[in-house]
Chain A
């Protein structure tokens, strides 16, 4: 633990300094990504405004769902996405071998040495959107609900990091894993909409094997006091538990993949 405090912040610091060598590109990246998300949200807003609601969710409620989705995702992905999407290259180039001979968890090293400030643009978009949505939507605020909001966000970030880590970890055993992100992002896109508009089979997947319903829809529904299909009243606590559970499963899977690591090849 103490060792982690000595190493991990320094890793982040080194990474920041390395990135600062290319800061112009990074700032342009923030703007571009925020623009891109804003553009998709505009399209969704236009649909909702034109048809009044989508699955019973009006625009301000959709805005809460979308901002929750973006915030949870960017918090989790900052520690995982770029690093673990690259894992297959890291493996192929043999860099992973060099991590395996250090007395530090390769996961921690990767996550922190690539801690991505590239998500600043996402967060700059998500926070005002969420603030606006929370003032518009009809939320019966009380201290527990505030805590719930924070807890659910953490859980959302954990789900994201856990799934992204697991997909990346598959590269340790099967060499290639980047393609699996297409499937993840397919479901990730579904998580931008109310779960109740999807067929039962997709709902079931979204609360089990690909538990992305918990990263945005369930917490938003709980805050807005809407009924959640399949789960009912269990939804609220499950959304808090989903992150830690996903994290534990991801850790077990990561260990298994490390044990079955095949090396960089010839």
Chain B
């Protein structure tokens, strides 16, 4: 059943062809921008802290094009609309778990974004500037695991904020907060290895780092193998905590809908 929701979301996205083209171009420009920045700052420098320009180009492609399509705004707006129109109450009547339903729908979105945005952008930029292969087959495989974890953590973070809107009544502000936090702490613009040590010490344990920084660092082979296992474990721990949080928030929210009629 949930697979059908995913397929449905995928098809809905297909129906808006102009939107697909625009997200593709928007994303392409953004990746170009990130790469231009790294090329500018690396002008005349071969490597900084053991990181080369080629590393940073690959980093920009993965963190911006691959993980950058996680669109929490889309999810939060879906949720916000459902709350404001009262549609969310309708879901309670159906034999399904609403957060799981949203997860399925956003897997559909993910599939669409991967095909329509991520792959073409990666291909174009990769051909233009060159993308590095994973540090090894092992690293490549771990990257896939981290990539899935990244999507899960992003989804849970967005869900948490979206559900908080039940009480704060302003999904809009929460969306901006999350955007801000992600911009800095996920490492999507600047990898944590370039952070000042004090900031990095904090940021490396926050769940946001698993959204863009760790998957890319793993791909590039910048983490020790032993460390990788530990980081994966912490990331899974965060996902579990967030999932529990979402479960709790949802049961409260559901209670609230049932008792107060939304």
Tally of contact residues, B, Cβ under 8 A: 41
Q: A35-B180, A39-B183, A46-B194 are in contact. Are A179 and B23 (CB under 8 A)?
A: yes
Q: A43-B190, A51-B41 are in contact. Are A36 and B25 (CB under 8 A)?
A: no
B179 close to A (CB within 8 Å): yes
Query: Quick one: which of A210-262 are within 8 Å of B by CB?
Result: none
Bound-state CA distance A28–B30 (Å) is 28
Instruction: Find chain A residues with CB under 8 A from B40 CB.
Output: 54-55, 193-194, 197
B22 touches A29 (CB 8 A): no
B248 close to A (CB within 8 Å): no
Bound-state CA distance A28–B189 (Å) is 25
Q: Which of A32, A190, A193 has the most CB of B within 10 A?
A: A32
A28 touches B168 (CB 8 A): yes
**Minimum C-beta distance from B84 to chain A (A):** 12
Write the chain B residue with the least CB distance to A187. B29
B170 touches A25 (CB 8 A): yes
B22 touches A32 (CB 8 A): no
Q: A193-B36, A197-B37 are in contact. Are A32 and B180 (CB under 8 A)?
A: yes
A interface secondary structure, majority: helix
Q: A43-B190, A44-B189 are in contact. Are A176 and B19 (CB under 8 A)?
A: yes
Query: Quick one: which of B180-207 are within 8 Å of A by CB?
Result: 180-181, 183-184, 189-190, 194-196, 199
Q: A32-B180, A190-B29 are in contact. Are A197 and B36 (CB under 8 A)?
A: yes
Instruction: Find chain A residues with CB under 8 A from B22 CB.
Output: 179-183
B180 touches A39 (CB 8 A): yes
Q: Which of B22, B28, B42, B175 has the most CB of A within 10 A?
A: B22
Mark interface residues in B27-48 (1 if CB within 8 Å of A CB, else 0). Answer: 1111011001101111000001
B240 close to A (CB within 8 Å): no
Instruction: Find chain A residues with CB under 8 A from B42 CB.
Output: 51
A25 touches B169 (CB 8 A): yes
Bound-state CA distance A33–B170 (Å) is 13
A189 touches B29 (CB 8 A): yes
B211 close to A (CB within 8 Å): no
Bound-state CA distance A40–B189 (Å) is 8
Q: Which of B39, B180, B199 has the most CB of A within 10 A?
A: B180
Bound-state CA distance A176–B23 (Å) is 14
Query: Quick one: which of A1-48 are within 8 Å of B by CB?
Result: 24-25, 28-29, 31-33, 35-40, 42-44, 46-47
**Minimum C-beta distance from A189 to chain B (A):** 6
Q: A44-B189, A54-B41 are in contact. Are A179 and B177 (CB under 8 A)?
A: no
B177 touches A47 (CB 8 A): no
Select B33's contact among A32, A42, A190, beta carbons within 8 Å: A190
B173 close to A (CB within 8 Å): yes
Bound-state CA distance A182–B183 (Å) is 17
B37 touches A186 (CB 8 A): no
Bound-state CA distance A32–B161 (Å) is 13
Bound-state CA distance A223–B28 (Å) is 31
Instruction: Find chain B residues with CB under 8 A from A141 CB.
Output: none
Bound-state CA distance A167–B194 (Å) is 38
Write the chain A residue with the least CB distance to B168. A28
B18 touches A189 (CB 8 A): no
Write the chain B residue with the least CB distance to A49. B196
Instruction: Find chain B residues with CB under 8 A from A266 CB.
Output: none
Instruction: Find chain A residues with CB under 8 A from B33 CB.
Output: 186, 189-190, 193, 198
Select A186's contact among B18, B26, B175, B184, beta carbons within 8 Å: B26
Write the chain B residue with the least CB distance to A174. B18
**Minimum C-beta distance from B104 to chain A (A):** 24
**Minimum C-beta distance from A51 to chain B (A):** 4
Which 7 pairs show the lowest CB-CB distances between chains A and B? A36-B180, A186-B29, A182-B26, A39-B180, A32-B176, A197-B40, A179-B19
A179-B16, A180-B18, A199-B36 known; 5 new pairs, CB 8 Å cut-off, are: A179-B18, A179-B21, A182-B22, A186-B30, A197-B39
